[in-house]
Structure 1
Amino acid sequence: MALGNLFKRKASAPRAQVRADRGLLVFEHTSEVIRAEKLLKASGREIRVMGPPPEIQRGCDLVVEFPLMEKLDILRVLAEAGIPPMESVPVTGPLLAPVDLFQVKDFGDYLMVRAANMKLTVDKRNRAIVNVSGGGCPDVPYIAARLIGLTLDEAPAPREIGHTLCGYALELAYEEMVRLCSS
C-alpha cells in the first residue's frame, strides 16, 4: 500500500460543509449521545457524531447530525428508548454547521488522529499503534497498554476495552485512523 500522499492534510476549515438537508440533535449528556448513536446506527440511519457549532453549545460537547427528512421518526425512536434530545436544530447556514471532531497531523512516518481530547498515533510504515494520549479517565492507561505495539488490524477496538468518555473518543479516533489507513 502506497501511503505517501494518503495522509496529507487538506487545507480546509474544521467546520463541516453546510447541508440544508441535515439537522442536529442536542443532548444534555455525552452518555445520551453515545446511546443515541448506537441506537440510530443499529437501525441503519445515516448519522454522524460531531462537535456542536458555537451558536448552539448547550448540553454536552457533542451533537448528532441526521437527515432532516427522518426527523419525526428519529425523534419517535429516541423518545421510545428514553433518550429524547434537548432540541433538534436544522442546519440552516454556515454558522450552524457542526464542527468536525477530528484533527489529523502528519509527522512524516507517523500519523496522529485526535478526536475530542484523545489522540492515537500510528506508524504509517507498518500501521503499528505507537502512542495513545489525552483524557483524564481512569481507563486510559489500561487502553493504552492494550493498544500500543499492535497494528490497527491486531488491536481491539477501544470501545471493547474502555468504558468511559475517553474510551469513546479514542474509539472515534481509532475508526478514523482505520478509515484513513484503508483509503
Structure 2
Amino acid sequence: MLFRSKKRTEDPGAGEASGLFLFDQVPDALWAERVLKSAGYEYALVAPPHHLRAGCDLAVAIPRVEHVGAERLLRDAGVPVRGWVDDPGSAAQPTELVTTVDFGGHLMVRAGNMKITVDKDTLVIVNTSGGGCPDIPYLNIELVGKRLDEVPRPKTLGYTLCGLMLDRAYEEACALLGVQPA
C-alpha cells in the first residue's frame, strides 16, 4: 500500500471515549501538552475537526474520564483553554496528523501540512515542504542535504506550528528508519 496512516499506540483511550481541549493559540496547545505530559496524563496532540477550528489547528485529546482533573491542572498552570468537546460521537473525528508515503528509495512523512522526504539508503534529507510559516525557509536551509541522524530537531530550530509539524514528521521518519532522534 503506497499511502499509510500511522496508528498511534499512545493515543488516549484506546477503546475508551475521549474528548478534546481546544485552544485559540498554538503556543497554548503546546503549553498544555507539556503540562499534561509532566503530570503523567495520557494524551495526544491532534488536529481538531474542521468545524471546531478557530485560529489554532491543534487540540489535545484525552480520555473523557480524565477531563476534570486535567482541566484543573491546566487552569492551575495558567494555560488558557478555549473549550472542551465532550461528545466525539457528534463531532467529526480528529484528523490524523501523521501519514507516510514510501517511494521505494525515498520515504516521505507528512505531519499536518509539513512534509520531510528522506533517502532511505543514505538517510539524507532530500526535501522539506509545506506550510506557510515564516521559519520554513530557514528550516529548509538547515535540514535539506544533511543526514537525518545528524541534524537538530526541527522544533529546536523553528518557532511556529509549521516547525512543530515538521518535527512530528522528522520524529516519525526517524522511527521508521531506525534512527535515534536528536
Higher mean alpha-carbon deviation, 110-119 vs 40-49, is at: 40-49
Of residues 126, 142, 145, the one that matches 2:122 is 126
Q: State the AA in 1 paired with 2:154.
A: P
Q: How many correspondences in the alignment?
A: 175
Distance 2:85 2:75 in 1: 16
Deviations 1:71-107 (A, max 9, x none): 1111011111222322212354384321101232222
Of residues 39, 44, 48, the one that matches 1:52 is 48
Q: Does 2:37 correspond to 1:41?
A: yes
Distance 1:149 1:157 in 2: 15
The residue number in structure 2 matching 1:116 is 112
Of residues 98, 103, 109, the one that matches 1:102 is 98
- Note the residue ranges of structure 2 that are not aligned, 5 or more in a row: none
Distance 1:40 1:11 in 2: 25
Deviations 1:13-52 (A, max 9, x none): xxx9984432111111222111111222232222111111
Question: SS in structure 2 opposite 1:145?
Answer: helix
Q: State the AA in 1 paired with 2:18.
A: R
- Note the residue ranges of structure 1 that are not aligned, 5 or more in a row: 1-6
The residue number in structure 2 matching 1:3 is none
Q: CA RMSD in A?
A: 2.8
Q: How does 1:1-183 map to 2 (within 5 A)?
A: 9-10=3-4, 19-93=15-89, 95-182=91-178
TM-score normalised by length of structure 1:
0.82
Q: State the AA in 2 paired with 1:174.
A: Y
Q: State the AA in 2 paired with 1:173.
A: A
Higher mean alpha-carbon deviation, 53-62 vs 113-122, is at: 53-62
Deviation at 1:132? Answer: 1.1
TM-score normalised by length of structure 2:
0.82
Confirm or deny: 8 A CA contact 2:4 2:100 kept in the other structure: no
Deviation at 1:55? Answer: 4.5
